[in-house]
Structure 1
């Protein structure tokens, strides 16, 4: 039976440090146990396998990242959702490296318990359907163009803006926020001029 002094969170933190240093390939039962200073039995008391640990770690990071975007979109504030990425990256650099610098397929391998499979499937479905919600909030409709622009503003633009800084091992500077803010407003204003002859309706004041 595993040593109760080593919690699941302890194993996540140790694995995350290894991912930041060496990528997903560096995460093994031995490397995590050695990093944590725990017997291997403690690992298997918490996780059925290395693959389960990696999938759980990836899901944990994704859900943590998505929480801020969901809060902003529930408040119908598209700009805040777009600015969430650099703010989150500054607070969670290791999780950011896991999500933005590595292929998710490196973490989602092998056989998982049914509960973990269901949670990942549910989360993936929610991610895929989120673009339509983004489009409704930012542009008031969810046609093909609106969904594509929403994906750019909430996901692609912020990720591209912070990636180079993650690769250099540095926090994104405040300049990144100004670039995202200016681009967001330009895209929304251009959409409004083309579609309505005026800036797109904003459901919340976006400072």
Structure 2
């Protein structure tokens, strides 16, 4: 008779994200992750060789989910909608959002980097996301993605919205409804591409 595993890899990844979200990177030890799942410590080592492997797989899972939520809008040339898509993603993935958006990989992997296959998988995700981002900037301009345009787009789509959300992600719980208005107003007040004028002015 085949014995079914009680604990899946996803169980350990979810536990790792929860621990980092609640207590920072140092909270996610192998013992703490296993304890959070309710599994013996040996069980986690059947699936992951090291703490960096668990955190690397968790980071890739959270990042892939984030990319999947925003990339379609970026590829369609809709920067404001891409920025606003961060809100429902955070609402549906609170644990992943706090894990991904409140921490830097350097803090997660200061002891040792993730295994090479996980690093390569993350590089592929980053390349996919960067291609979608650059396609959006190109579509919104004159076909050339200049350094200033890329900097503006990063601020409007990622850095600005995440800075607005950060205090509420730290606090936890539902995001207040006005953060969406703030992100929309950010886009209304600043053009994605230099020299185009604001979207509000262009529509007037």
Taking structure 2 as the reference length, the TM-score comes to: 0.85
**Cα displacement (A) at 1:66:** 1.2
Report what 1:120 is aligned to: 122
Gap regions ≥5 residues in structure 1: 201-207
For residues 170 and 35 of structure 1, the distance between their equivalents in structure 2, rounded to whole angstroms, comes to 20
The question of whether the paired residues in 2 share the 8 Å contact of 1:89 and 1:171 is answered with no
Report what 1:176 is aligned to: 179
**Cα displacement (A) at 1:53:** 0.2
Report what 1:34 is aligned to: 35
Q: Pick closer, same or farther for the CA change 1:111–1:158 going to 2, 3 Å.
A: closer
RMSD: 2.4
For residues 37 and 173 of structure 2, the distance between their equivalents in structure 1, rounded to whole angstroms, comes to 25
Q: Determine whether 1:162 maps to 2:165.
A: yes
Report what 1:204 is aligned to: none
Report what 2:103 is aligned to: 102
**Cα displacement (A) at 1:32:** 1.1
The aligned length equals: 196
For residues 33 and 27 of structure 2, the distance between their equivalents in structure 1, rounded to whole angstroms, comes to 9
For residues 126 and 108 of structure 1, the distance between their equivalents in structure 2, rounded to whole angstroms, comes to 23
Report what 2:67 is aligned to: 66
The question of whether the paired residues in 2 share the 8 Å contact of 1:79 and 1:184 is answered with yes
Gap regions ≥5 residues in structure 2: none
For residues 130 and 171 of structure 1, the distance between their equivalents in structure 2, rounded to whole angstroms, comes to 29
Q: Pick closer, same or farther for the CA change 1:3–1:24 going to 2, 3 Å.
A: farther
For residues 100 and 112 of structure 1, the distance between their equivalents in structure 2, rounded to whole angstroms, comes to 19
**Cα displacement (A) at 1:133:** 2.3
